[in-house]
Amino acid sequence: DRGETFTQRTKENAHDYRYFPEPDLMPVKISGEKIEHWCSDLPELPRQRRERYVAEFGLPAYDAGVLTADMATSDWFEIALQHTKNAKAVSNFIMGEMMRLLSEHDVSISESKVTPEKLAEIIGLIDAKTISTSAGKQVFEISFNEGGNPKQIVEGKGLAQVSDDSALEGWADEAIANNPKPVEEYKDGNAASINFLMG
């Protein structure tokens, strides 16, 4: 109540706790070399992985912390990086879409139908501008729920981006021709009508 802290008693030595040696157990002496050998056999620890993800892949410390919080997730991330060099995209998909879907379906990452190889393929399609990032998320979710090959999902759902100007212009002309009312509203000064046509 006074905001004061003070020592009430001390217990600093073994006899304070009534410790006594066990006469039937011999002392165990371990050499420094043996300890070093054991240390060298240890797997990479989470702190070391976090530091490596920041230094080697340029990930933010937050991403590295999330990815190394669970060994299975960290191992999954590492496998994905054997198939793509885009570490940040892999991290974003794991922390976003993957974590959300795992939580919704109450499954572990090892049970996911999306393998590290499939995620790398989706990222490859995005990097090649074959699909947009939002389409990539759709492909990821379909693959998570139903399985399947990402390229086949893109083709089957018509998610590929069109970069051919003549095709885009044709669709724009078609949208204008089939929607005279929003066109007139736009011409009359209602700028919001363009959103309907763009949609």
pLDDT band at 159 (very low <50, low <70, confident <90, very high): confident
On the question of pLDDT at 10 being above 80, the answer is no
* pTM of full prediction above 0.85: no
Averaged pLDDT for residues 55-76? 96
Please report which helix (H) or strand (E) contains residue 56, including its range: helix 46-57
pLDDT, residue 59, reads: 96
60-97 per-residue burial string, b: 16 or more CB within 10 A, e: under 16? eeebbbbbbeeeebbebbeebbebbebbebbbbbbbeb
On the question of pLDDT at 173 being above 90, the answer is no
Q: Is 50 exposed, middle or buried (0-12, 13-18, 19+ CB in 10 A)?
A: buried
Mean pLDDT of the residues in the chain? 89
Nearest residue to 84 (alpha-carbon basis) of 147, 148, 128: 128
| Cα distances (Å, whole numbers) of residue 47 to 42, 53, 74, 109 | 13, 10, 12, 21
Maximum average pLDDT range among 7-16, 76-85, 155-164: 76-85
